[in-house]
Chains A and B, each alone.
Chain A
Amino acid sequence: MSRLLEVRGLQTAFPSATGETRIVDDVSFNLDSGEVLALVGESGSGKSMTALSILRLVPKPGRVIAGEIKLEGRDLLDFSVSEMRRVRGGRIAMIFQEPMTCLNPVVAVGAQVMEAIGLHDQIGQVDARARTRELFAEVGIPDPEARLDAYPHELSGGLKQRVMIAMALSTRPEILIADEPTTALDVTVQAQILALLSDLQRDRGTAILLITHDLGIVNELADRVAVMYAGRLVEVAPRQELLSNPLHPYTRGLLRSIPALSPPGVRLPEIPGVVPSPDHWPNGCRFSTRCGERFEPCAEIFPEETAPTSDRRVWCHAVDASSRDPEGEAL
């Protein structure tokens, strides 16, 4: 596996009364070819804004103020507007939560995919139509020839998301960014789309950056997981390790508060309080206002990155202290 995307020290900010508020703060991660990295967090954690930053699609007046986003060694932040346009929908494609808002309601879905192909490849109408039909078949759209001429409102939510995936794949991207791709779908349809994404990743070797709030979906699809809280990464680990042995108190709280895991009749473990708004983030660890393991340095000093094993990273004073202390819990 080779390193495809390297995000270093990413900071994305929006103007505020007090200057600029960094809603993505010092985020660093890698995406290797063919792997699925899940970016997990609750609303306001900055996970979607991180994805938009990579494609340089941060809504104005927000902007990336620091960091590097290297696609095979070249920093996307240095790309010209026209170079960047070729990257979007070319080497990096994106699918969103709500397919209805991304499709043009008055154009047949086949024509929309053909248009996307035409923007990136010089090919004729007949070839573009044939390629679109193949893509529709590949993403499991039944009767693909007939669906080419269907309008978005004639398709169910699940089929519309399949059309979006077909469009995203039309230029054979190396990276697919999927932002909550199944959140608007029913659970039986969600299972179908997750299976489709998993097949595509295996058959085509497309790397996927999966943005989600749902740890069940993480388990279904991800190889590695990066957990975000209030604009910062708190923990990065392989899927199995993260789910079976979460190290950061926030990751642990998140896992415990999933109702399905609680035996019936037992009170759900809560994370007390609410996520602070960006202008009220503490100086130190952002989770310190809600953390049950908080001690002296947490509120004031941001924890350094600790690497308990070569493939895990965590930002927590408690984990840091116990890894330094030879008497402490072995990690």
Chain B
Amino acid sequence: MSTEVPPLLRLQDLQTWYPIREGLMRRTTGWVQAATDVSFDIAPGQTLALVGESGCGKTTVGRSILRLESPQKGVVLFEGQDLLELSAESMRAARRRIQIIFQDPMASLDPRMRIRDQIAEGMKSFGIGVDENDRRARVAELMERVQLDPATMDRYPHEFSGGQRQRICIVRALAVEPRLIVCDESVSALDVSIQAQILNLLRDLQDDLGLSYLFITHDLSVVRYLADDVAVMYLGKIVEQGPTQRIFEAPAHPYTKALLAAIPSIDPMQRGGAPPVMGDVPSPSDPPSGCHFHTRCSVVMDRCSREVPPLFPVTGTNGTKGEQGRSRCFLAEESESRSLG
């Protein structure tokens, strides 16, 4: 990412752990290590995809940014301010600039409220629009922008299809004029034909409004279409990050390679092959020692279970100069020292 433009969002060493409380006195007996040492930048108008399987901590990171969770450590710099230092009141104001869209629109819309009122609620609370009529006109304009018929604004959520409901959630987020939208599995529950419509819409809105997205997903095929950069998480830590094209064409971390290889191909000439990794993801309350992935890794070495690998720089392949992201794997260290020597 370019260093000239200051990032819109910068995460530094974010840590969010949940206490495990047991017994009558609710004493803390352990920690679910949901997110540890998470750092990344998102530039204005750019999309970072945070990918991983269930329990990897990607959702925790998204929620921590909005302070819907309480991180123990780290810095969340947004437009130059550390959100973790803000008072409750200043944080409320900052939420106007960061919105979140969830997986299940039915769960995030109020079933007993007209969609017009739900969209206008945020505007009203942040003092956008001079009066009811003004806000109504804005709702109509925004609905048109996402290809919803403004004539339906007085209807209730159940009167819309799943894809339309997700458009309503997008309108509601846009209504308060955010700079960053956290999309938490926002297209995962949609049918593929509707998913394509919503992905195109998100891209159009980004082009027109200069929005940034933190796109949280388990589905790598969606990532390639939308993201400029990718960060892959496994058991609470980022194991690899870098430009989307490099991640897809030359993944450095064995886990990223496994994730990519596990996607069923739709190329009819290609099928079969052994599953890329065996076993399930271990529990984040008791992660393996050393590299968290060593219990499932096909190229595991002796040191992997003893030492915790840091993020090593990944250099570009075939002619691309400079750093192409980072990988939390000792193999990246070896290739780094080879290229230096």
Contact = CB atoms under 8 A, between A and B. Distances in A.
A270 B200 contact: yes
Contacts of B271: 219-220
Interface string B274-291: 111110110000000000
Nearest to A220: B264
A213 B261 CA distance: 20
Interface of B: 53-54, 161-164, 191-197, 199-200, 203, 218-222, 224-225, 244-245, 258-259, 261-272, 274-278, 280-281
A190 B262 contact: yes
Contact of B196 (A158, A194, A195, A257): A257
Given A219-B266, A220-B265, A259-B222, 11 more contacts: A42-B194, A157-B280, A158-B280, A186-B281, A188-B275, A213-B191, A219-B264, A220-B264, A259-B196, A260-B266, A269-B196
How many of chain A's residues touch chain B, expressed as a range?
35 or more
Given A220-B271, A267-B200, A187 B194 contact: no
Contact of A274 (B53, B161, B224, B265): B161
Nearest to B281: A186
A58 interface: no
A268 B200 contact: yes
Interface of A: 42-43, 156-159, 186-192, 194-195, 198, 213-220, 239-240, 243-244, 253-255, 257-262, 264, 267-272, 274-275
A187 B259 contact: yes
A145 to B, nearest CB: 18
A223 to B, nearest CB: 11
A213 B192 contact: yes
Contacts of B268: 219, 239-240, 243-244
A216 B266 contact: yes
Given A219-B265, A219-B271, A260-B266, A187 B218 contact: yes
Contacts, number: 124
A258 B270 CA distance: 17
Given A42-B193, A254-B192, A270-B197, A191 B262 contact: yes
5 contacts: A187-B53, A188-B277, A216-B265, A258-B221, A269-B196
Contact of A259 (B163, B199, B244, B270): B199
A218 B268 CA distance: 10
A191 B224 contact: no
Given A214-B264, A243-B268, A268-B200, A253 B54 contact: no
B252 to A, nearest CB: 18
